[in-house]
A = this chain, B = another copy of it.
Amino acid sequence: MLISVRVIAVYDLPQQSSLLLMVEPPLVGPVHRVKEERLVTTPTPFNELGKDVYGNPLRRIIASEGLFAFEFRAKVDTAPNTDLDDDAVEHPLQEIPTESMVYTLPSRYCQSDLLARMARREFGQLPSGGRRVRTITDWVRQHVEYQYGTTNAKTSAFDTVTERIGVCRDFAHLVIAFCRGLGIPARYASCYALGLEPPDFHSVAQVYLSGVWHNVDATTEAVRPALIPIAVRRDAADVAMMTLWEMGKLREQAVEVREIAG
């Protein structure tokens, strides 16, 4: 499928600011390939695309005081998103790549240490594998209400598991925390999703089963037709569209994801 992506955003910065921008998917991923892309920003003293410790593209910018705006456009060829197979297998410790071990440990928003006992009590007796992960995502979808504007940048899986309300970010964090609590490597992916209404950035969990990473999306029973990962890391602390150390206000943002007649 050929997907067209467009993002614009405007920020107001009270002083010169360092920021990370994560809107550019890797040029080539397991199921996608970027055909064209263009990032335009207001002039900045520094602007560089590098690679982080997890292998994600990482754009670092120093922006001047005042308005900072950018527009990102891309055309991406991607295979359709597929559902997790019930028979996908969980790996014992010795089969997990050492560089993926970090995805079994707790992180800022996925306190799997605190949720482990609950994960074992709720899901520990189920046969391991894709079916168990699906039971977890079903549990999250059935127990947590999806509602815009109910959570914020402080909300973590430890909150969501009890408060039972949130958005895609919160759903993904809770799935990740449960999976890690069972020893299943799980990570957070921000992505462009086809068919989201209203259009916005999307987030899903990824789990490591049968030797590959699978998207699992607790916000929907159906399978999103296409998901293009922008960045995958431990949780939303590592993968924000924009990370700012200093103050700054988002003034405006629009995301557009469309299928182009193939």
Contacts and interface: CB of A to CB of B under 8 A. Distances in A.
Interface of A: 18, 20, 46, 48, 50-54, 58, 60, 62, 92-94, 98-102, 104-108, 111, 113-118, 121, 143, 145, 152-154, 158-159, 161-165, 181-183, 237-238, 243, 245
A186 to B, nearest CB: 13
Oligomer: number of copies? 4
Contact of A162 (B46, B106, B114, B152): B114
Nearest to A108: B106
8 contacts: A18-B92, A52-B99, A104-B245, A117-B163, A117-B165, A118-B162, A118-B164, A162-B162
Given A106-B108, A162-B162, A237-B113, A62 B94 contact: yes
Q: Which 4 A-B pairs have the closest CB atoms?
A: A50-B98, A18-B93, A53-B99, A183-B245
A158 B164 contact: no
A34 B161 CA distance: 45
A93 B46 contact: yes
Nearest to A157: B162
B162 A145 contact: no
A101 B60 CA distance: 10
A160 B60 CA distance: 31
A82 to B, nearest CB: 26
A51 B121 CA distance: 32
A94 B48 contact: yes
Given A62-B94, A107-B108, 16 more contacts: A18-B93, A52-B102, A53-B99, A54-B102, A58-B98, A102-B238, A104-B245, A106-B108, A108-B111, A114-B154, A114-B159, A114-B163, A117-B163, A118-B162, A121-B164, A181-B245
